[in-house]
Amino acid sequence: MSVTPDNDNAPDEPLIFIVIGKAYETDGDAEGVDIHVMLRAPDDDTAVREALNALAEEGFLEADLDQIGTLDGIPDEEPHASAYQGALEGEVAIIRFG
């Protein structure tokens, strides 16, 4: 007889993370670009790793990540609402400011 354990800690919906920080496109780039990265991941370590990989693929050389958290639902305003939808579909969305 097989019994599947019930884990109360498992989320009902996928975890959508938002990572907030600053990314740099060149070595001498003192200002950098403020960024929000939204993605689906099983935990925060994976979210940080995938966010850094996505930033590198977009040509950023360095990033200072300041905050990480999960979103409780779809944001009300763009561009975060579209980025959230993309994250639900498995994309990594990078929102650039400035």
Alpha carbon distance 44, 18 (integer Å): 10
Does residue 37 form part of some domain?
A: yes
Does residue 6 form part of some domain?
A: no
Q: Quick one: tokens of 60?
A: 């950023």
Does residue 57 form part of some domain?
A: yes
Does residue 35 form part of some domain?
A: yes
End-to-end Cα distance, the chain:
59
Based on its alpha-carbon atoms, the radius of gyration of the chain, rounded to whole angstroms, reads 16
Domain that holds residue 65: 16-97
Q: What is the pTM of this model?
A: 0.84
∠ CA 96-46-20 to the nearest 5 degrees? Answer: 25
- pLDDT (tens digit per residue) in 28-55: 778 899 999 999 999 999 999 999 999 9
| Confidence bin at 10 (pLDDT 50/70/90) | low
Does residue 51 form part of some domain?
A: yes
What's the number of domains the chain is made of? 1
Residues linked to residue 19 through DSSP beta bridges, in sequence order: 37, 68
- Count of helix runs (H) and strand runs (E) in the chain: 2, 4
